[in-house]
Amino acid sequence: MVRIRLRRTGLKNQSTYRIMAAEKESPRDGRFLEILGSYNPRTNPSTVVVNEDRVYDWMSKGAQPSDSVIQIFNSVGLMDRFARFKAGESKESLLIEAKAAYEKHAASGKVEKPIVEEKKAPAKKPAKEKEAEKVEEVPSVEPTETLPIIESAPVIEIAEITPEETIPEAPSAEEKAESSPAEEKVE
């Protein structure tokens, strides 16, 4: 199976990419079938150069673009033009439109999609708006009963201990030795 994917070129931290057609099993920088264009993400806006007639040829033969290549193709409007190519629009008119799209992309960084009149389904609301509506629908509940406030808690008196009532300390090691009966040696 043929994939249209990126091949890294350039020095360390200065990467540029070639858009190429390659077998799915071949390594990223390995054997390829054809170079279809280039992509430089380091420029502002990114530089994209694609030989669209060859891309149309490979994609019509069944080549699948990778996810990153699809994003690059969408940035210049190539995927929309390919859909119109499959629908029967002439290749020459699409290539003229593509040339204008690349010039516009280089100048502004964005490509506007051509206006096509189609019936669209009503736009769905984002999830955050739906949650906000749910929160607004819940009626606020006011507490009907209040808990009684305890004004005074019982006071516990602690008796003071006088020095006479103190607990005697444990005898030290020396006192234990003196008071304990030692074995008497008989002479």
pTM > 0.75: no
83-95 tens-digit pLDDT: 988 888 888 888 8
User: Quick check: 112 pLDDT over 60?
Assistant: no
> How would DSSP label each residue in 130-154?
HHHHHHHHSPP---S--PPPP--PP
Which H or E run contains 4?
strand 2-11
Label residue 99 exposed, middle or buried (CB < 10 Å: 0-12, 13-18, 19+): exposed
Q: How far apart are CA 105 and CA 47, in angstroms?
A: 8
| Mean pLDDT (whole number) for 114-123 | 53
User: Quick check: 15 pLDDT over 80?
Assistant: yes
Name the percent of the chain lying above pLDDT 70: 58
By C-alpha distance, which of 94, 21, 7 is closest to 64? 21
For the chain, which domains are there? 2-108 (3.30.1320.10)
| Mean pLDDT (whole number) for 134-161 | 60
- Cβ atoms of 46 and 52 within 8 Å: the answer is no
57 vs 173, more confident: 57
Q: For 75, list phi and psi in degrees, rounded to 5.
A: -65, -25
Q: For 8, list phi and psi in degrees, rounded to 5.
A: -75, 135
By C-alpha distance, which of 54, 60, 47, 70 is closest to 21? 54
